[in-house]
Structure 1
């Protein structure tokens, strides 16, 4: 999917990243590739890889997100400033009640769901100096950041990445994943043995059940996430 055409411009409002932001990511990628790697791909081919990476990010990439969070997160606090609603589960409320004074006054219920009260255009009330003061007890919706459980933003009932294009962490994460993909493609010619090993891991990670992931139970999902971590370790050993 090439981004430089009229159809893509019209649908740009639905993208996680704008065309300008995609160009910025492409520039970062080119800076990290060596001359031979740059020559192996045209810019349009790289844009396709970037787009497919962004479009495919879902809850199964959680190990990658977690692994690189400390490395790339700049602690800017934007993810807690731009939030509109903070959904709460009953488990969240039980967990927060002992540490949040008068929590009943900070919560409202709507449509059978619970939310933290929040002033318009204000950051999360628990954000101080760009850090979460209830981090160890934070709600599940925060724990699963950057994914959403909004059914309109999920694919086949699997949580997708949400729109946080103003976050340098995601830029750097996308750059890292794309570079790994580019190097993996080049392995076909330079190191077929390692490529074969990676392909074996892919068979574990993307079994037939994965194509029917909307029917997976929690245990199967956790196993797929674990397998994704194994693949990440293999890639890290060769691309760090």
Structure 2
């Protein structure tokens, strides 16, 4: 983000999504805005009309862990609290204030993989960290290092973030409209088909990894 500004690229004023964290969550997006480019249109009489269009822009993403229903509800609530008090201005005039508010409010969201796991806020894959005879549940196996955690990366789109990226290319008159919620029914109607539930997919991946690890440990005689 800083490098784009340093090089004179027309970058968005703020990075959309959650603030920077030790343990990234969901999706952070920024972009350089669509460039004004010369284009010629046929005039229907064998000639050409000179004009401009804004069709090309660059998008940059940083993806973190996928959040559970509980984690997403917390994220949405915290983001709504920030945006109820301050919205990022298109001209960047309040970027520092917006980012400061975002950092402060999101202190309520744990910034530790194990804490997010134990509170059921995010999805993880399990791995084998060692072999030892241990009795107990998943938490006990994690405590002993027999099971390890790695975040399942979020592979979808955040409606608010995506809306901010696209609105930045629509002109000043459209930039003050804040998209606050997704409209899945509208999207499915336009698509003509239902879409998969992201939470079900991530949960199935997490469950399968735990099942595979426990089966391996039981085979090795490491879980009583």
Q: Which interval holds the TM-score relative to the shorter structure?
A: under 0.3
Question: With structure 2 as the length reference, what TM-score do the two structures score?
Answer: 0.25
Question: With structure 1 as the length reference, what TM-score do the two structures score?
Answer: 0.24
Q: Which has the higher strand share?
A: 2
Greater C-alpha Rg:
2
**Using CA pairs below 8 Å that are at least 6 residues apart, which structure has the higher relative contact order?**
1
